[in-house]
Structure 1
């Protein structure tokens, strides 16, 4: 069901916009841009127009300012034969510039310091707004119509965006879990097998080296026993042995030791050596007697080493690598197990978050409806002043099938300029001239929030009394803003505070555009040309009447 917020018929015109503080554009320097060779323009506040013959290049000024606002650089804009173009704007004591070379590289500066184009754009957007020729057409987009209504609702939009993002993240995770359920089960089986295989062996860091030593000992017990027996035979068990010879040597020193301290000391050393050899002989006897082969122990060590080697082959190359791999598998198992649990519980979380989105979305819709009526009334008040006295306009909310990134509802702007006609979508019923005037009303109410505003061909598709109404609205806007307008209508030009003429001429076989600020006499001639295509006495008389009904009367 469509929800409407209708515009009440205002009793009188909306009040003029509040002043916007900030620096105004005081000078513009342009070098090698399209047909401009070298141009310097000085500006003051108020209402400034640029006029000229069709094809004279009036919009080049707008293109130059657009480069300072971060518009995409195009090498086609560089004057033929030149290596680069340069645009510099001065706002009181501040300066911004953009240089584009023939290779497409762009250099931005703020007060002489190199900055990114994005930084230049952010800086310039606080000082200047441009409404291009296609800006009115952009009103046909439902997204742009919604943005008009949402401009004053940043808090509601942020709350909704947060809730929507949480819901979408949960939905995406649930869909991912469901889509990967079969793969997750396969992966769980594999990881569980690997974890069980390693856990069954339970490898310990550093255990292989002592096991290898045990294996060498167990495999050579006969050799060890035979060696010990041979050593015993030489030390104690043989007919002639080391213990016997040492004992005899000790006895032979008995007599001399009674009289010679040195001999006595040497005898003591021999006794100590004899005791050491006898101790070694006892240990050798244990080795010789206790090294009977143990097939079970040998098999146990071989099996353990075999199991460790198998793990190293599959998960190694080292035993430490196997242990690390096991830890990683356990972590992945835990994560996949959580995923399995999440898949079972995330449904409820998605439903809960969906409820949050609906709740916050309904609040956003209520805020939009609350904003729609007053905003539509402000716009209609200005639109009716612009030569459409019977215009009606309203914002309508249409519930979307499910929550979207921008809310629970689509927003469209409905409009009619004629009495007795039903409101219909703006895109279906508005002419080019009507779109331009709606755009101007929107710019007045919402879009002129910078110290300087530029309108490029805002007068497209209008004339007569509508043109006069548009001119008056632009002049009213210029009370609190610095307004620049590229126009082809004499009614608008006549109400400007400052008038610049854009012309083309041929110099040395090259086309050159020039921009000249007109004095009163020149302005009279230009407005006469705009009215009649010539500067005859009749045309000049008509132009003088138009100027008299505007801001002043030229003396010429």
Structure 2
């Protein structure tokens, strides 16, 4: 059976070295929906652990394969700007080195970069969904204008309130700060330092303070070159005269004679300059004192505001800006309290509008999510977004947002973070990814099918396949219903080589895939199990083709 081509992958290749039971892995990845299956204990989640390291997850030295000193995970990404490469190396000493396109970066930078491209939903913890901020963002995605208006009003109120609070500090403290800033600004202004002036001043001072030694050296040099009874100039003239007698008969001697004359001209050119230095008048004591005083003033500024003149200038600019702001605050004090009150009223108004927009978005979003969640093996699930007023306005609004949930009949709804099991949480994440849309081009689900089977498994498979038509989706699964819907099927295998356990990952061809599905269905590869596997694959192909046609019609519409 041939499947239509899947989406172009965003993560095209994954290389892993010395991670747990993996010795070396070079895995080519495809677009659409990919599944990873294998026997219990084969290490299917190692792939998720490797990608987690690229996402900035904590690197534990015990992840390093026994006998190796370090592990390395490298991801090759395809994007609008061409291929990008991210990697994470972890040593047994706990040192972690992250790279982006070959350049060393902080792990935090790697994490931020990868978070724009990759989302992982672990079976044991969907941390992002458990936070109030993430739950609030689900509603704000459908209340963008109101959320942006509130953020602007809140920022303006906080800026005015901070200025007012600063004015309300003690008069003595404000006066002390004004005096200090004025003194610092005046001190720097009085010297008026200039970038780059120290080096030429230091050189000039050195020349003036050593004028006698400089003149003596020049006079001694003159004596050797020209003024002495035996001088270089006289010797060179005699040498030229002697060589000239033979130069008329020999070209080589003629050439050397020319070079001697050139050298004599050079010596002659030096003599007037040396004489000027040797006969220079004594330095002006006032000039020396002026330079010394200037350098001392610059040194005092550097000692207080440095260590470099550039730091002094930067400090002066900052102090002057703060001084002007304090003076402006004093001038504006009469109007500032009224401005804060106006800004606060604007925050209240924008916050109430945001609450109304969130409440309006909550109903339809909850209905859409529940429609999916109930298909995913939780037919009695209930859900709602609760808005709880905060004691004072916050950057996020006037109210906190909590996602309440119950999976079973007869149970009260509670915060999702407290009442949902790992499997339930994973399926809620799947519903959100399907309804709201995954925020990254690559989405990973680890054991999203925990605790489900039958029709619920088929529904989960359909949701994953639907998401795979828009994103690159990877799933670690034990359900044949999900594996049958994949565009790419990988098997994780564990074997013992030379007394060491080694995990391998390989992509299955059609025959191998049928055998793997048969094993997943009943633990055997009998004729009946293989027939059932082929039926699942055939049904998955038909459903996938129908889904692609629906997606195409939706995009055209």
User: What TM-score does the superposition give when structure 2 sets the normalisation length?
Assistant: 0.61
Shift of 1:411: 1.2
**Conserved 8 A contact 1:416-1:424:** yes
- The alignment status of 1:383 with 2:373, answered yes or no, reads yes
CA distance in 1, matches of 2:103, 2:127: 37
CA distance in 2, matches of 1:449, 1:335: 42
CA distance in 2, matches of 1:332, 1:27: 53
2:16 to 30, 42, 56: 30
2:339 matched to which residue of 1? 349
**Which segments of 5 or more consecutive residues in structure 1 lack a partner in the other structure?**
1-19, 196-316, 318-329
- The alignment status of 1:541 with 2:531, answered yes or no, reads no
2:553 matched to which residue of 1? none
Q: Map of 1:313-392 to 2, 5 A cutoff?
A: 346-392=336-382
CA separation of 1:142 and 1:120: change in aligned 2, threshold 3 A: closer
**Which segments of 5 or more consecutive residues in structure 2 lack a partner in the other structure?**
1-5, 184-299, 301-319, 542-557
CA distance in 1, matches of 2:440, 2:431: 16
CA distance in 1, matches of 2:406, 2:109: 41
1:295 matched to which residue of 2? none
CA distance in 2, matches of 1:415, 1:378: 14
**Conserved 8 A contact 2:157-2:344:** yes
**Conserved 8 A contact 1:380-1:392:** yes
1:433-461 residue CA offsets vs partner (Å, 9 max, x unmatched): 33222111001123424443211121233
Tell which structure's C-alpha radius of gyration is larger: 1
1:94 matched to which residue of 2? 83
2:426 to 424, 432, 436: 436
Q: Map of 1:151-300 to 2, 5 A cutoff?
A: 151-181=141-171, 183-184=173-174, 187=176
Shift of 1:47: 2.1
**Conserved 8 A contact 1:432-1:461:** no
**Conserved 8 A contact 1:23-1:127:** no
Q: Map of 1:15-26 to 2, 5 A cutoff?
A: 23-26=9-12
Shift of 1:98: 0.6
CA separation of 1:398 and 1:107: change in aligned 2, threshold 3 A: closer
1:65 matched to which residue of 2? 51
CA distance in 2, matches of 1:118, 1:108: 11
1:265 matched to which residue of 2? none
CA distance in 1, matches of 2:325, 2:470: 62
CA distance in 2, matches of 1:333, 1:113: 42
SS at match of 2:528: helix
2:97 to 79, 93, 106: 106
SS at match of 2:65: coil
SS at match of 1:49: strand
**Conserved 8 A contact 1:137-1:435:** no
CA distance in 2, matches of 1:166, 1:473: 43
Shift of 1:397: 2.0
**Conserved 8 A contact 2:8-2:31:** no
SS at match of 2:390: strand
User: What TM-score does the superposition give when structure 1 sets the normalisation length?
Assistant: 0.61
CA distance in 2, matches of 1:333, 1:444: 55
CA distance in 1, matches of 2:44, 2:419: 30
SS at match of 2:387: strand
1:340-383 residue CA offsets vs partner (Å, 9 max, x unmatched): 67666543332222112112212322332332233223212222
**Conserved 8 A contact 1:51-1:488:** yes
CA separation of 1:474 and 1:544: change in aligned 2, threshold 3 A: farther
- The alignment status of 1:398 with 2:385, answered yes or no, reads no
Shift of 1:61: 1.0
CA separation of 1:463 and 1:136: change in aligned 2, threshold 3 A: farther
**Conserved 8 A contact 2:97-2:104:** no
CA distance in 2, matches of 1:460, 1:125: 25
CA separation of 1:191 and 1:127: change in aligned 2, threshold 3 A: closer
CA separation of 1:169 and 1:523: change in aligned 2, threshold 3 A: same
More deviation in 140-149 or 20-29? 20-29
**Conserved 8 A contact 2:434-2:466:** no
**Conserved 8 A contact 1:27-1:42:** yes
2:271 matched to which residue of 1? none
**Conserved 8 A contact 1:399-1:409:** yes
